[in-house]
């Protein structure tokens, strides 16, 4: 019998959105493929506070503050291309709605 373990190792601060979207709620959706790991019986996720700060705030408060949203917005900055930046930030908000992640 084959044993398997799926590990999600995410230490980078730039991945705060990904950690929150993946593990903030029980919802699994294609907008965040890593969210499917929650349904895998042999999956484990490891992260750091640099990457997990938004998830911690969400779990403690039940929603993200305006300050947290501003920090997450900054992750999506594409220097010299405001249109791309805005598109990425919209994607984040749409995916939060899909995943049931409340925010200010």
In a domain, 17, yes or no: yes
Please state at what angle helix 16-23 crosses helix 82-99, rounded to 10 degrees: 20
In a domain, 38, yes or no: yes
Closest CA to 94 of 19, 30, 40, 48: 30
pLDDT above 60 for 2: no
Residues 8-49: pLDDT tens digits? 899 999 999 999 999 999 999 999 999 999 998 889 999 999
In a domain, 1, yes or no: no
As for how many domains the chain has, the answer is 1
In a domain, 67, yes or no: yes
Q: The domain containing residue 10 runs over which residues?
A: 6-99
In a domain, 104, yes or no: no
- pTM value is 0.90
- Asked if residue 34 lies in contact with residue 18, where contact means CB atoms within 8 angstroms, the answer is yes
């Amino acid at each position: 019998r084959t044993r398997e373990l799926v590990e999600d190792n995410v230490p980078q601060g730039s991945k705060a959105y990904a950690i929150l979207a993946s593990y903030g709620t029980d919802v699994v959706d294609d907008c965040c493929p890593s969210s499917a790991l929650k349904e895998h019986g042999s999956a484990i996720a490891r992260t750091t506070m640099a990457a997990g700060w938004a998830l911690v705030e969400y779990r403690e408060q039940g929603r993200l503050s305006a300050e947290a949203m501003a920090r997450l917005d900054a992750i999506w900055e594409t220097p010299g291309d405001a249109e791309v930046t805005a598109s990425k930030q919209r994607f984040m908000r749409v995916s939060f709605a899909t995943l049931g992640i409340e925010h200010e």
